[in-house]
Chains A and B, each alone.
Chain A
């Protein structure tokens, strides 16, 4: 079974631009969560999607948004990029229907904002 895939793996953008990151979950998984990882703040929860609906949202500005498609693939978008948005963005996949289910992470997208 294929694992969680994220594209692209690396991105370099300049301030003010926008970016879209993609995550394909494990086949059969309906929940996708996004996290931001920085050296200073560690891993922070961005949002979670389940069956195309946002189920939970972290404490990030509205510039961060996401969506999920009917095939469970998810995208997150960051508009008006700031230097502080430079981070490793990770997505996690899980079955979603069982509260005890295990979460599996993708390799991440490394975003650098210049």
Chain B
């Protein structure tokens, strides 16, 4: 059974700092991994999607990496800003079968202090 873990559960950093969020999954048989952010009481905003055959993806100040064999992904945020404060979730889409089902991690609550 696929399990997804995110460490740390919460993180507080001063504005301008670079930071790394971690995501681990137990079953390496995945199609892809997606990173989302969620603002309080809101839906999920897709940040980056990494295919199982890729090593990393970049979008602006965000860079996500994937090491499928070790079951790990990281989300790197450069030059953090107060507007980056949110909960960050990773989700994996497992291999096998025609399905879009995502298995989510528990999230990392990020606070960027001005």
> Contact residues of A with B, CB < 8 Å?
4, 6, 31, 33, 35, 42-43, 45, 48, 50, 55-56, 58, 88, 90, 92, 94, 96, 99-108, 110
Query: What per-residue 1/0 map shows which CB atoms of B73-112 lie under 8 Å from chain A?
Result: 0000000000000000101010001111111111100000
Q: Is the interface of A mostly helix, strand, loop or mixed?
A: strand
Closest chain A CB from B114 CB (angstroms): 27
> Contact residues of B with A, CB < 8 Å?
31-32, 34, 36, 41-46, 49, 51, 89, 91, 93, 97-107
| Other-chain contact of B106, A42, A96, A104 (Cβ < 8 Å) | A42
Contact, CB under 8 Å: A99 / B46 = no
B-side contacts of A42, CB under 8 Å: 104-107
Which one of B41, B100, B101 has the greatest number of beta carbons of chain A within 10 Å? B100
Q: List 21 A-B contacts (CB under 8 A).
A: A6-B43, A31-B100, A33-B102, A35-B104, A42-B106, A43-B89, A43-B102, A45-B103, A48-B101, A50-B98, A55-B99, A55-B100, A56-B100, A99-B93, A99-B98, A103-B100, A104-B46, A105-B36, A105-B44, A105-B45, A106-B43
* The 6 residue pairs across chains A and B that have the minimum distance between CB atoms: A105-B44, A43-B104, A56-B99, A107-B43, A105-B43, A102-B49
Contact, CB under 8 Å: B36 / A110 = no
Contact, CB under 8 Å: B42 / A108 = yes
Closest chain B CB from A88 CB (angstroms): 8
Closest chain A CB from B22 CB (angstroms): 17
| Other-chain contact of A90, B44, B49, B98, B99 (Cβ < 8 Å) | B44
**4 extra interface residue pairs, beta carbon distance < 8 Å, beyond A35-B104, A103-B100:** A48-B99, A55-B99, A105-B44, A105-B45
Known: A90-B43, A105-B36, A107-B43. A100 touches B31 (CB 8 A): yes
Closest chain B CB from A3 CB (angstroms): 9
A-side contacts of B93, CB under 8 Å: 99
Give A106's nearest chain B residue, CB to CB: B43
Which one of A96, A103, A105 has the greatest number of beta carbons of chain B within 10 Å? A103
| Other-chain contact of A102, B46, B99, B101 (Cβ < 8 Å) | B46
